Structure 1
Amino acid sequence: MPQQSFTFLPLSYAARPPRIVLVAPDDGERWVEWTAAALARLSTVWGCSGSVVVPSSAVGHPAVARCLAGLNPDHVLAYNPSWATYDALNPGTADRLLAENKIADSAAAEHFMQMLRKEPWSGSPVHEAEVAADQLRSTLATNKRENLIQCSHLFDDDNARELTPLATVATTSLIGVPRNSVTTAEALAFAMHVGIEESVFDGQIAVKDWREAALCGTESPMLSRLRPGAPDGCTMLRSHEAGLCIPISRALRSRERVAVLGDQPEDFALAEALRQFRGSVTWIPWDEPGLSDMWLFSGRVSERLLVTSASLSREETQQRIDARWEKRPVRQIEPEAEERRFEVVVPSEIDLAHPFMVVLKDAWEQPRSLPVTMEPDGSVQASLSLAAEVPRGLDPDMHRWQVTLTAADHPLPPLAALGSSAVIATDPNPWETFVRAADGGITYWSHRFDFVPSGASLAGSLASPKLAWPGIKRILQVAASAEGVEMRPSPAGKRAAITEGLLGSRAALEGLAVGPGWSLLRRFLPDAAANGSPEGSRWRLKSAVVLSWEAVATHNDPGWELAARREQIDQWTSQGVLRRGLILGCGHCPILEFYPLAEISQSYRCRRCGGDNQLTNDRWKPAAHEPRWFYDLHPAVLELVMNDGDVPLLATQYLRNQYGMRQALVCEEFELLQEGNPFVEMDFALATTEDLRLGEAKSNDSLGDSPRVRRREAGKLMEGCVLVGAAGLILATTRTEWSDTTVDALKSEIAGRRKAGKAVPKISLLTGLGTSPHLDRLAI
């Protein structure tokens, strides 16, 4: 059995505020005011620039749910307003309650009102928000362990033991939209960009001015009108700079802007969430074209505008944006000649890869190194707890932050199934802090969650967990188990694993498939032609085909020099891929067999009859004065070659040389079982910092011989992805393209799954393996 090995894991450290999804009460007609109240509260929390507010009625909308899952939040909270907030939204409520309680004394009445305004208001909209938040929290497995939740509500009063107030971190004055002025969707569309503060604005702002401000976003001068007396150097509440943070991403950012049309709660929620993926997002909740539309179409030439909606159909969205275009007030050239640099898309077509991670600007991409043990299944376990650390600019007594650790050589996809049990080492206290997979690595709360005595030292109050980075097989097993499915290696996967063990790494196995050695190994197949091998240099025995050096030397590959070939044979022999030995007969029975060098001495025993033989001239073949060395291929390697095992290796070798997948973890072929019965086989899996992808690799261009079989196979492959949380399915072939019938089957199955409300992984087609590989998304 493989032994554990000890090494050091290089890590990248980042400190960041928590990402929050705040579910706002929603009573229907007044959802804008409730959402504004929730946004006002979120605007006071450190990390509001990387967090989102979602009205409770929008939580279950498919477009919104897709974004929230990709956001991978640290907390899903229900906003619980105080009676003061409720009274501000419904003036006179507190006075009526005072009258109902018949409190006549003025001092007693004032005391009663002070107490009441600090109490949480818990009407039916709040209850509905709590239910929606709990459902979303369970779906995303966000910092929840069994029935214990790290943080579940956000009240109007600060609780510094859970979330850090933004004001305690900021080094400049903060500014936002006065709360009493956000009463319309247009005002909320602007406040979404800058945040809402607890101040009062006595003036009036025209609707057209709110609309222009919403389209200008942070570049609008609206705040100077709303806060004319604000000091110089103010920072907007929802700016990253306010929290001493910056947004980072592992990919080049798309220059496409996004506009979300529609005046429903789900439209606001979609725009809120998309801001964390696309950066430049505008919510337009009004229908009428106007002068302010000049800001909508005034982007740089390289910027294309994607227009979408959660409440409107594609056709309705197209009609509304076309109307704005036709009535735009500023035109560069003649309308017929000016290019329409916008495109209407449904929300599911917007790429959500590479979301922003908002980090403390002075505490990210800092190198760390941790002693770890390598487990036989490829998992990594920390040998020591991480030392506690306080990033510059933070105070452990006042602030709470998230620690995120990423390992370039061991990425973790942000799967909901990878909770504490998957990423905590086996021996430490699992209650020390909340730990989960996120942002391509492991993230945990900065402070201890278990009992911390009063006056504890810094090391005693900050969390210092022992962590585990699960290998790709462990990731698949955990993800499958979460859906009640079993994952196990297939026979082909076992053969690939054995060969990888012989060669030493997955890269070496892939190198074998793409190098000249694979065609040489095919000469060991029983049905392989002699191809000019000298007489007596190739023998087909009952158990195997064996080759001598002469057969290897005459293998037709002009580009593979004999010296390099000789060196490769010696390396394979030392690794166990090949076994050097002799062809020997038996003096007691007619068997002729290959005997590896390790089994040969002056005397040997026949494998068939057990007879004893002497190593003499009449025993070895071919007849010669001295025996000739032959090479036998390891049985697992032989079966791998025989079953076209190079095709999935060619696929993963190509994929792991593409941007974003160079450090991917790779798993060989495996099976998924439902109720103990094999359901689907996948040829490979790749785990990156962004997602998990599964793949099917073939030497032909079809998934089956009939439409029914092709559609069934396509459905099984897609369902297999869904069962383990894989974001994408890669179909690979050695052919120059997949057949039209296969592509039609894929599209038909996708349409059927969408109609049934089932999840659909992103489909990519990889063609030309071994010659001119090309990867492309399936066009729907």
Structure 2
Amino acid sequence: MAPHDDDNWAAWAAAGLARLSRVWGCSGIVVIPSAAVTHPAVERCLTRFNPDHVLAYVPSWATADGVRPGTINGLIAGRATEAAGEQFEEMLRKEPWNAPIVQEAEAAADELRELCGTNRRDEHVQSSHLFDADVHDLTPLSAVTKATVVGVPRRLVTTVEALAYAMHVGIGESEAEGQITAGQWQEVAARGNESPLLSQLHPGALGDSCPARSHEAALCVSVSRAFQRREPVVVLGDRPEDFALAEVLRQIRGVATWIPWAEPGLYDMWLFSPRKHVLVTSASLTVEETRQQTEERWHKRSFRSIPPEEEERPFKAVHPDAIDIDHPLMVVLKDSWDQPRSLPVTREPDGTLQASLSLAAEVPNGLDPDRHRWQVTLTAPSHPVPPLPVLGSHAVIATGQNPWETFARAADGGVTYWSHRFDFVPSGASLAGSLASPRLAWPGIKSTLNVTASAQGADVRPSPAGKRAAITERLLGSRTALEELAASPGWALLRMFMSPAVPGGCPVGSWWKLKSATVLSWEAIAGLDDHGWEPTARREQVDQWTSQGVLRRGLILGCGHCPILEFYPLSEISQSYLCRRCGGTNQLTSDRWRPAAPEPQWFYDLHPAVLELVENDGDVPLLATRFLRSEHWARQALVCEEFELLVDGNPCVEMDFALATAQELWLGEAKKNDSLANTHRKRKDEAAKLLQGCALAGAAGLVLATVQEQWAQTTVDAVRDEVLGRVRNVDRSLLRSWCDVMN
């Protein structure tokens, strides 16, 4: 977080970038002027960027004097002797400069920490400030890199054009001959790292030299989880928020260019190559102003291939909120980032995974634990953790773990922690004694919901429907098996247990409706009209359900003392049995079983919780989550069954499912019909409740699912109006919420 003033904001951003260019990891860090942090477009991107640390840049007096000449002289004027003044100045130049704009930057950093839920002052803080002097907990880039690191000479970065280029390559200490014209800065800023200007700025640099902000210099690479190559982004405008937007988009998407000059230049034209499509945006300009500036650049290009009226524009002016910022890049150590580990874990009742043992101390190849600091991220592919701000250290450390051993938080779909201990490290400690070895927890989705709802003053409890689904899931062994059941012909078979009359195709005596339940024999099950389900496979399925407890095998028995006829599971049958109604003792003889036959016939009873799940159309949300998990972005998602959100102990809204990915948390509502309600007022109220549920749970959005061909337009309109109304009312918790309507 760089200090800001209106007259020198670019110089202060350059000062922060110059300091950052000397830190290992600068290729994956952003510089944000303090005045830009609250801009909605910047805030949206920073939330998705989800930084592990937010540092306030505190310059030295020497740096402050470079940005504001005369700062030091103004302080030391009037000193008693010239010698004392020289000694004082030498000492002062190294001291932190604590001016009001620095304090404002610290306050902005605190605000961003709260927004992103990272290294907050009231929690565990590993690093909070970046000083001009080297500090122990940050590793210098020079201590790690194997190449000659170069950057734009600091004295040359005095304009926004120079800053636009320095944003790509970083700022170094070396000097250059002569001056760089504004046109040259514009050319190289538009071309980024492809520019030959570095050789002019550093004529003595060796052939293995790398820009300070390049991944190569830091021995790192960027890893993308996006499935498609994304368009380059160009940010127009010369304001701090434009620079900040370009900075963070560069880290999220990998390719972003900042053009802070309004006058079109010939070198801007490389952006409009016919081989690429470019998104043009701005934080300070309207979409129309952005489009006009881009059109001016387009018309000024020096080549024409086809008549202008037939040309297809290879660019699109968009609002910053329209830019896809899902799947941000992850900057990792090149040769050590993908290391499989076998780690013993235990699964808690709420689905949380906890490491059973402390992690073994480990140093990546090429690093020295005495000189270097790094972070470790552990992910479980089948158990993603959304990087939500509320999932702080308390949520991702195992029971009994010392919370002060190291920094830990949810990030990059897993849990990340600082490499070194800092609770207490004795002098001369061994490698195992100096490196962190925490026991971590990967929260289950129920635990995640409890944490996110609690942060909003709400509570979560399973609904009756959710309890039934949880019982069935436990019987079948997994949520996936339950979803597959809902999509299989087995669901139609289970519906036979709730039929009010004998289903077609059932032989006489194979289907009985008793007072407590409906039971079926194998003959009734085999008579189900589904020609695609072979009898052998059907037989195997029934046997599996019986072993799982979904079905219970038993007999229909009567009582010789009262007129009751009841189903008795196999586990309750012996030669003698007690009547459930009157308690009378009966013998297992031919006059007791039904139907009358020389030998008793086996029947099957459906587990009561499964029966209620079928009766209440429990397959609808199961089909919805099954479809969602077939999409690439949610393939490994965690799913929670129906639950209720309570405010002040009172039920507020019931949600049909929750879905957590490595990126975010979603809530959903699934319907058998195509409408949320029968009247406009009720539809509006239902839409309001669902969106309020998303806000209380900290969800990124709402999924509406129906088994019909499409939702009724009245329902779509009701939800859209409610979303727009909440945005107009500046309900900040819902600014990012939106609805994905699924048929």
Give the alignment partner of residue 225 of structure 1, picking from 191, 200, 204: 200
Instruction: Determine the structure 2 residue equivalent to 1:266.
Output: 241
Partner SS state of residue 651, structure 2: strand
Q: Does 1:257 align with 2:235?
A: no
Displacement of 1:281: 0.6
Give the alignment partner of residue 654 of structure 2, picking from 681, 684, 696: 681
Q: CA RMSD in A?
A: 1.7
Displacement of 1:508: 1.4
Residues 624-663 of structure 1, C-alpha deviations (whole Å, 9 max, x = no match): 2322221111000001111111111112222222213222
Instruction: Determine the structure 1 residue equivalent to 2:317.
Output: 344
Instruction: Determine the structure 2 residue equivalent to 1:111.
Output: 87
Preserved CA contact (<8 Å) 2:165 2:192 = yes
Which residues in structure 2 correspond to 1:41-80 (within 5 Å)? Answer: 41-80=19-58
Instruction: Determine the structure 2 residue equivalent to 1:237.
Output: 212
CA distance in 1, matches of 2:296, 2:94: 48
CA distance in 2, matches of 1:570, 1:660: 36
Instruction: Determine the structure 2 residue equivalent to 1:155.
Output: 131
Preserved CA contact (<8 Å) 2:269 2:297 = no
Displacement of 1:356: 0.8
Which residues in structure 2 correspond to 1:267-346 (within 5 Å)? Answer: 267-298=242-273, 300-301=274-275, 303-346=276-319
Instruction: Determine the structure 1 residue equivalent to 2:566.
Output: 593
Q: Does 1:612 align with 2:590?
A: no
Over 3 Å counting, the alpha-carbon distance change for 1:305 and 1:529 in structure 2 is farther
Partner SS state of residue 296, structure 2: helix
Which residues in structure 2 correspond to 1:699-738 (within 5 Å)? Answer: 699-738=672-711
Instruction: Determine the structure 2 residue equivalent to 1:214.
Output: 189
Displacement of 1:543: 1.4
Preserved CA contact (<8 Å) 1:290 1:329 = no
Residues 261-299 of structure 1, C-alpha deviations (whole Å, 9 max, x = no match): 11111111111000112111111212222222212212x
Displacement of 1:257: 0.9
Query: Given residue 112 of structure 2, which amino acid in structure 1 is its aligned partner?
Result: L
Instruction: Determine the structure 2 residue equivalent to 1:29.
Output: 7
Instruction: Determine the structure 2 residue equivalent to 1:137.
Output: 113
CA distance in 2, matches of 1:318, 1:748: 28
Which residues in structure 2 correspond to 1:507-656 (within 5 Å)? Answer: 507-527=480-500, 529-656=502-629
Partner SS state of residue 456, structure 1: coil
Q: Does 1:88 align with 2:66?
A: yes
Instruction: Determine the structure 2 residue equivalent to 1:39.
Output: 17
Aligned structure 1 segments of 4 or more residues deviating by more than 6 angstroms: none
CA distance in 2, matches of 1:195, 1:173: 13
CA distance in 2, matches of 1:151, 1:729: 36
Displacement of 1:237: 0.6
Partner SS state of residue 259, structure 1: strand
Query: Given residue 679 of structure 1, which amino acid in structure 2 is its aligned partner?
Result: C
Over 3 Å counting, the alpha-carbon distance change for 1:529 and 1:732 in structure 2 is farther
Preserved CA contact (<8 Å) 1:144 1:150 = no
Over 3 Å counting, the alpha-carbon distance change for 1:253 and 1:35 in structure 2 is farther
Preserved CA contact (<8 Å) 1:385 1:465 = yes
TM normalised by structure 2 equals 0.97
Partner SS state of residue 366, structure 1: coil
CA distance in 1, matches of 2:376, 2:319: 35
CA distance in 1, matches of 2:637, 2:376: 23
Residues 506-538 of structure 1, C-alpha deviations (whole Å, 9 max, x = no match): 121112111111000000114365213112111
Preserved CA contact (<8 Å) 1:45 1:165 = yes
Query: Given residue 240 of structure 1, which amino acid in structure 2 is its aligned partner?
Result: H
Instruction: Determine the structure 1 residue equivalent to 2:96.
Output: 120
CA distance in 2, matches of 1:648, 1:529: 28
Q: Which is worse superposed, 558-567 or 752-761?
A: 752-761
Over 3 Å counting, the alpha-carbon distance change for 1:626 and 1:529 in structure 2 is closer
Displacement of 1:200: 4.2
Preserved CA contact (<8 Å) 1:289 1:328 = no
Q: Does 1:246 align with 2:221?
A: yes
Unpaired runs of 5+ in structure 2?
A: none
Query: Given residue 659 of structure 1, which amino acid in structure 2 is its aligned partner?
Result: H
Q: Which is worse superposed, 740-749 or 537-546?
A: 740-749
Preserved CA contact (<8 Å) 1:254 1:278 = no
Residues paired across the two proteins, number? 740
Q: Which is worse superposed, 371-380 or 539-548?
A: 371-380
Partner SS state of residue 180, structure 2: coil
Preserved CA contact (<8 Å) 2:175 2:202 = no
Preserved CA contact (<8 Å) 2:174 2:202 = no
Instruction: Determine the structure 2 residue equivalent to 1:778.
Output: none
CA distance in 2, matches of 1:238, 1:528: 74
Residues 759-778 of structure 1, C-alpha deviations (whole Å, 9 max, x = no match): 232432222xxxxxxxxxxx
Query: Given residue 574 of structure 1, which amino acid in structure 2 is its aligned partner?
Result: S
CA distance in 2, matches of 1:716, 1:212: 53
CA distance in 2, matches of 1:147, 1:737: 47
Query: Given residue 125 of structure 1, which amino acid in structure 2 is its aligned partner?
Result: I
Preserved CA contact (<8 Å) 1:143 1:435 = no
Query: Given residue 561 of structure 1, which amino acid in structure 2 is its aligned partner?
Result: E
Q: Does 1:659 align with 2:659?
A: no
Q: Which is worse superposed, 133-142 or 658-667?
A: 658-667
Query: Given residue 144 of structure 2, which amino acid in structure 1 is its aligned partner?
Result: V
Residues 681-719 of structure 1, C-alpha deviations (whole Å, 9 max, x = no match): 221222222222222111111222223322332233233
Over 3 Å counting, the alpha-carbon distance change for 1:412 and 1:315 in structure 2 is same
Displacement of 1:428: 2.5
Partner SS state of residue 54, structure 2: strand
Displacement of 1:201: 4.5
Give the alignment partner of residue 506 of structure 1, picking from 458, 472, 479: 479
Preserved CA contact (<8 Å) 1:56 1:129 = yes
Instruction: Determine the structure 1 residue equivalent to 2:460.
Output: 487
Displacement of 1:604: 2.3
CA distance in 2, matches of 1:89, 1:44: 19
CA distance in 1, matches of 2:80, 2:171: 35
Q: Which is worse superposed, 677-686 or 397-406?
A: 677-686
Give the alignment partner of residue 77 of structure 2, picking from 76, 83, 99: 99
Displacement of 1:582: 1.6
Preserved CA contact (<8 Å) 1:448 1:462 = yes
Partner SS state of residue 459, structure 1: helix
CA distance in 1, matches of 2:409, 2:356: 18
CA distance in 2, matches of 1:130, 1:202: 37
Q: Which is worse superposed, 322-331 or 649-658?
A: 322-331
Unpaired runs of 5+ in structure 1?
A: 1-22, 768-780
Q: Which is worse superposed, 658-667 or 553-562?
A: 658-667
Identity of aligned residues (%): 66
Which residues in structure 2 correspond to 1:391-406 (within 5 Å)? Answer: 391-406=364-379
Kindly indicate which of the two structures has a greater share of residues assigned to strand. 1
Over 3 Å counting, the alpha-carbon distance change for 1:357 and 1:224 in structure 2 is same
